[in-house]
Amino acid sequence: MKIQVKQIINASVLFLIAYSLLISGSVYGLTENKVVSTGTTTTKKTAAKAANANKIKSAKLSAKNDNNLKSIQKILYKNPKAAIKKLKILINKKNKNLKNAKIYYYLGQSYFKLNNDDKAIMYYKKAIKQNPKYIKSYNSLGLLYNKNHNYKNAYIAFSKLVKINSRNPVYYNNLGFIEEEREKNHKAIEFFNKAVSLNPFYTMAYLNLGSIFRKLGEDRRAAKEYNKSGLTYFRTGNYLQAINSFKLSIKLYRNYIYPYKNIANTYVKLGNIDNAVNYYTLSGNLYNNMQKYNAAVKEFNSALKYNQSYMPAIHGIMLSYQKLGNMQMVSRYMQEEIKVGGIGAILGGGL
More confident residue, 45 or 176: 176
Is the predicted pLDDT of residue 163 greater than 90, yes or no? Answer: yes
Residue 73 has a pLDDT of 86
pLDDT band at 343 (very low <50, low <70, confident <90, very high): low
Residue 64 has a pLDDT of 54
* Total count of domains within the chain: 1
Q: Is residue 16 part of a domain?
A: no
Q: Is residue 299 part of a domain?
A: yes
Q: Is residue 61 part of a domain?
A: no
CB 317 within 8 A of CB 301: yes
What average pLDDT does this structure show over 205-232? 98
Q: What is the pLDDT of residues 271-311, one digit of tens each?
A: 999 999 999 999 999 999 999 999 999 999 999 999 999 99
Residue 279 has a pLDDT of 98
Residue 313 has a pLDDT of 98
Residue 244 has a pLDDT of 98
Instruction: Of 49-53, 105-109, 195-199, 318-322, give the lowest mean pLDDT range.
Output: 49-53
Q: Burial code of 194-231, b = ≥16 C-beta within 10 A, e = fewer?
A: bbbebbeebbbbbbbbbbbbbeeeebebbbbbbbbbbb
Q: Is residue 59 part of a domain?
A: no
Indicate the average pLDDT of the chain. Answer: 84
Q: Is residue 70 part of a domain?
A: no
Q: What is the pLDDT of residues 243-265, one digit of tens each?
A: 999 999 999 999 999 999 999 99
Is the predicted pLDDT of residue 327 greater than 80, yes or no? Answer: yes
Residue 266 has a pLDDT of 98
Q: Is residue 275 part of a domain?
A: yes
Q: What is the pLDDT of residues 126-157, one digit of tens each?
A: 999 999 999 999 999 999 999 999 999 999 99
- Who contacts 150 (Cβ-Cβ below 8 Å, separation ≥6)? none
Q: Are strands 34-37 and 40-43 parallel, antiparallel or unpaired?
A: antiparallel
Percent of the chain with pLDDT over 90: 71
Is the predicted pLDDT of residue 43 greater than 60, yes or no? Answer: no
Distance CA 30, CA 97 (A): 35
Domain of residue 296, CATH code: 1.25.40.10
CA dihedral over 327, 329, 332, 334, signed as positive or negative: negative
**Domain limits at 270?**
260-351
What average pLDDT does this structure show over 178-203? 97
What average pLDDT does this structure show over 98-110? 87
SS (H, E, C) the chain: CHHHHHHHHHHHHHHHHHHHHHHHHHHHHHHHHEEEECCEEEEHHHHHHHHHHHHHHHHHHHHHHHHHHHHHHHHHCCCHHHHHHHHHHHHHCCCHHHCCHHHHHHHHHHHHHCCCHHHHHHHHHHHHHHCCCCHHHHHHHHHHHHHCCCHHHHHHHHHHHHHHCCCCHHHHHHHHHHHHHCCCHHHHHHHHHHHHHHCCCCHHHHHHHHHHHHHCCCHHHHHHHHHHHHHHHHHCCCHHHHHHHHHHHHHHCCCCCHHHHHHHHHHHHHCCHHHHHHHHHHHHHHHHHCCCHHHHHHHHHHHHHHCCCCHHHHHHHHHHHHHHCCHHHHHHHHHHHHHHHCHHHHHCCCC
Q: Is residue 315 part of a domain?
A: yes
Q: What are phi and psi of 216, to 5 degrees?
A: -85, 0
Is the predicted pLDDT of residue 180 greater than 60, yes or no? Answer: yes
Residue 46 has a pLDDT of 63
Is the predicted pLDDT of residue 13 greater than 70, yes or no? Answer: no
Q: What is the pLDDT of residues 87-98, one digit of tens each?
A: 998 887 755 555
